[in-house]
Amino acid sequence: EDVVIRGVAVDKNQAKVTIAGVPDKPGIAAQVFKTIADANINIDVIVQNVSEKGFTDISFTVGSTEAGKAAKVLQPVVKNIGAREVTATEGIAKLSVVGIGMRSHPGVAAKMFETLAATGINIGMISTSEIKISVIIALADAEKAARAIHDAFGLSGK
């Protein structure tokens, strides 16, 4: 299957919320997202990695003005589930390389990350799907990053 990179997408309407130190046991993620759903907050990306010593972090992104509200409604949940803290961060953007056939081409992710590194841009979070590799970066880096990725993948003109 050939890789076809369709383009680069930049989403500046992003802010992130991280609940740090959640216990890794059934029911925790359910409480977090039930609280967010009840507050009618739309979620974009959700990221949870493996736990260490029984604890992990859950992060998710929301619209750029929603993170404060999300963190506020989660305060009581942080207490209930025995998590460490919840933090809201603005000033971020989501940068995605969009294409088909990426799953069978690990070189695409490597090239994207190498391009960001060569441009001096730090990757805050990574999330992938069959058709997209997305990273969370600083909002201030978004334009520079998109241009560098465009050039690296020969997308100019798209």
Ligand X SMILES: C[C@@H](O)[C@H](N)C(=O)O
Cβ(119)–Cβ(95) under 8 Å? no
**What single letter denotes the amino acid at residue 81?**
I
**Least Cβ distance, residue 89 to ligand X (angstroms):** 15
Residues numbered 83 to 122 that lie near a second copy (CB under 8 A) are 103-107, 109-110, 113-114, 116-117, 120-122
- For ligand X, the closer of residues 26 and 154 by Cβ is 26
Cα angle at 57 between 49 and 71, to 5 degrees? Answer: 135
Residues numbered 24 to 83 that lie near a second copy (CB under 8 A) are 24-30, 32-34, 36-37, 40-52, 57-59
**Least Cβ distance, residue 12 to a second copy (angstroms):** 16
Binding mask 113-142 for ligand X (x = CB under 6 A): ---------xx-------------------
Residues 6+ apart with CB under 8 A from 32: 19, 22, 58, 74, 77, 81
Residues numbered 30 to 89 that lie near ligand X (CB under 6 A) are 30, 48, 56
- Please report whether residue 151 would count as binding a second copy according to CB under 8 A: no
Residues that bind a second copy (CB under 8 A): 16, 18, 20, 24-30, 32-34, 36-37, 40-52, 57-59, 103-107, 109-110, 113-114, 116-117, 120-133
